[in-house]
Chains A and B, each alone.
Chain A
Amino acid sequence: MNKTLNHKAWVFVLPVVVFVAFNAIIPLMTVVNFSVQESFGDNVFFWAGMRWFEQVLHSERFHAALLRQLLFTGIVLAIQIPLGLAIALAMPRRGPWVSVCLVFMALPLLIPWNVVGAMWNIFALPDIGFLGKLINALGFHYNYTRQPLGAWFTVVLMDVWHWTSLVTLLCYAGLVAIPDAYYQAAKIDGAGRWAVFRHIQLPKLKHVLTIAVLLRFMDSFMIYTEVVVLTGGGPGNATTFLSIDLVKMALGQFDLGPAAAMSLIYFLVIMFSSWLFYTLMMRKEER
């Protein structure tokens, strides 16, 4: 093979390289830089090696935050994926109600995250919020600012409200793309509602669902703004997820070294999990 080498091509790639460097590589390298050194300010640094990583990996505080994070993401995925899919299945395929449903579903996605937090903060207050009052009126003692369980319930409910729409819209797009002939053939073959779901809709939605799980996994694993505005990570540390813990460490205590090490671990966990999930889903495809 005779490949022409044309170094001029680099000139065209350069703008992108510069752009990516500024918005990703350079900040990331700064973090790497912090994670292996100790600093007392004034730009004075001492080499720390892997010390911060060891410290973070052995710290109970990190374990607890990671555990809370995994639990939260697990719960949120377990609710949002089936619920989003169910709503998508219930939405009309054609007719005037399609646009109404779509707009209605898209609304929560359009609200800024800190506003979502603020909304739910007031909405769920036991003395003045509608939700808080309602739950108490039903005979349950509920106060999310005091009860860890109440706080978890509120945070999960808020995230479900905010993000289930994304799963629904993705699934709906996938469902609409299935040609009518499949449903007609299934009808003729005598397939029931469950068989249609199991053998036509679910297989055809596989890729869309993979994307939905990936997006929801990454987003929920990085959740910050809404929870900070709603509970501030409390009561106590009950809803202090990884990102909140990270900010506390970096900006609250100004422990830049451990915080940098923690963000790198955090980043690697998300990347590895996503990669693992994606590879597993796609490998099944090839068989």
Chain B
Amino acid sequence: MAKISIRDLRHSYVAKPTREDDWALKRISLECRDGGAYALLGPSGCGKTTLLSLISGLLRPTEGRIFFDERDVTEATPEKRNIAQVFQFPVIYDTMSIHDNLAFPLRNRGIEKPEVERRVGEIAKLLELDKVLDRRAAGLTADGKQKISLGRGLVRTDVNVIMFDEPLTVIDPHLKWELRSKLKELHHRTRRTMIYVTHDQTEALTFAEQVVVMKDGLIVQIGTPVELFERPRHTFVGHFIGSPGMNVLPCEIKSGQAFIGEHAVKTVEGRPSGNKHLELGVRPEFVSFTATGLPVDVIKVSDAGRFRIVETKHAPHTIKLLVPEGTEIPASAAHVHFDPAHTQVYEEGWMIA
């Protein structure tokens, strides 16, 4: 096990990158502490899988270094790095039994038979595969196969990090939840460093202690699920995480006070560097109806279980509210209030600290 440090990592699939767009990873620095559970979250094409392949050693970075503890592994092969990876589509060795699949990485490393048997037995029990060890792996369902892929990583005690590349893509919806909780449980029991790549916010937020949100080859924010929710550092994070996403409204700052049009709004303190492209962000959870405040028109109400999503309009801008079931909702004209502790101002997309 090891701490993983990534320093100024850049990667391009083009031989001689010239334009900014040639870089799949623009510049990434990241520290993953030993035993942590991390998620790389972002839309398709944001570079998260590239980053994963760079950490596992399947790709060589164009620039930058990768360290496992203090050891520079930038040039090392995946085998030398001692990592494990679970792929998007389950990879199993068809002709082998489940037992032999789990034993394969150990046998390749020349580990003694009794030790192989002991570890395979232990991991099979952990994954609840101990009853079917003699069966052929090819006959399993997709979730069983993914368990084996994971098991091949867990049997090795010296694995530095286990990586998951959207591992639930081909799993049935009702099993996704089960496998996700199993993963979480395994992380608690084994305390291996785990890095999980996904574009699904639910998967990332339930699995990880630290979520790394990526966009266009850059890290936008690193934080706990709560931090990402309550203090998104970029409007992108506000949009991408949460359902519905954060309300973002154009605003102005006059003498230290934020204004939407003519209406003053209390926000978290912050001083913009200039007055260019300012926006105000507030999550629907922190907007409520009041007697006075920002005037809005109620457009649409939709039911979302224990909550209702109310869509309102202030001039051309949409503001969404999340109100508990049973709250009275004004018929058309109304006023809303933003919780000042959770209302932030963004400049050029980035939160003003």
Q: Which residues of A line the B interface, CB within 8 A? A: 179, 181-182, 184-185, 187-192, 195, 199-200, 203-204
Contacts and interface: CB of A to CB of B under 8 A. Distances in A.
A55 to B, nearest CB: 48
A190 B108 CA distance: 6
Interface stretch (B21-29, B90-98, B245-253): B90-98
Nearest to A198: B95
A199 B109 contact: no
A181 B93 contact: no
B59 to A, nearest CB: 10
A191 B104 contact: yes
A200 B56 CA distance: 21
Interface in B83-104: 83-85, 87-89, 91, 93-96, 104
A188 B79 contact: yes
Contacts of B94: 203-204
B87 A181 contact: yes
A188 B56 contact: yes
22 contacts: A179-B89, A181-B88, A182-B91, A184-B58, A184-B78, A184-B87, A185-B87, A185-B152, A187-B58, A188-B78, A188-B83, A188-B84, A188-B85, A189-B104, A189-B108, A189-B152, A190-B109, A195-B108, A199-B96, A199-B104, A203-B93, A203-B95
Contacts of A203: 93-95
Nearest to A185: B91
A184 B85 CA distance: 9
A37 B56 CA distance: 75
Nearest to B56: A188
A189 B78 CA distance: 9
Given A184-B56, A185-B91, 5 more contacts: A179-B89, A185-B149, A189-B152, A190-B108, A192-B108
Interface residues of B, number: 22
A191 B152 CA distance: 12
A185 B85 contact: yes
Contact of B93 (A179, A187, A190, A199): A199
Interface string B192-204: 0000000000000
A241 B104 CA distance: 48
Contacts of A190: 79, 105, 108-109
Nearest to A190: B108
A161 B95 CA distance: 33
Interface of B: 56, 58, 77-79, 83-85, 87-89, 91, 93-96, 104-105, 108-109, 149, 152
A23 B85 CA distance: 56
Nearest to A192: B108
Contacts of B83: 188
B338 to A, nearest CB: 47
Contact of A200 (B58, B78, B85, B93): B93
Contacts of A200: 93
B146 to A, nearest CB: 12
A148 to B, nearest CB: 43
Contacts of A189: 104-105, 108, 152
A185 B93 CA distance: 10
A185 B91 CA distance: 7
A179 B108 CA distance: 22
Given A200-B93, A203-B94, A187 B78 contact: yes
Residue among B87, B91, B94, B104 with the most chain A CB within 10 A? Answer: B91
Residue among B84, B96, B104, B152 with the most chain A CB within 10 A? Answer: B104
Residue among A181, A191, A204 with the most chain B CB within 10 A? Answer: A181
Q: State the 8 A-B residue pairs at the shortest beta-carbon distance, nearest first.
A: A190-B108, A185-B91, A189-B105, A181-B87, A203-B95, A199-B93, A188-B78, A187-B78
A188 B152 CA distance: 10
A191 B108 contact: yes
Contacts of B88: 181
Residue among A184, A185, A191 with the most chain B CB within 10 A? Answer: A185
A64 to B, nearest CB: 41
B158 to A, nearest CB: 11
A187 B91 contact: no
A192 to B, nearest CB: 7
A192 B110 CA distance: 12
Nearest to B93: A199
Contacts of B77: 187
A95 to B, nearest CB: 13
A21 to B, nearest CB: 43
Contacts of B108: 189-192, 195
Contacts of B85: 184-185, 188
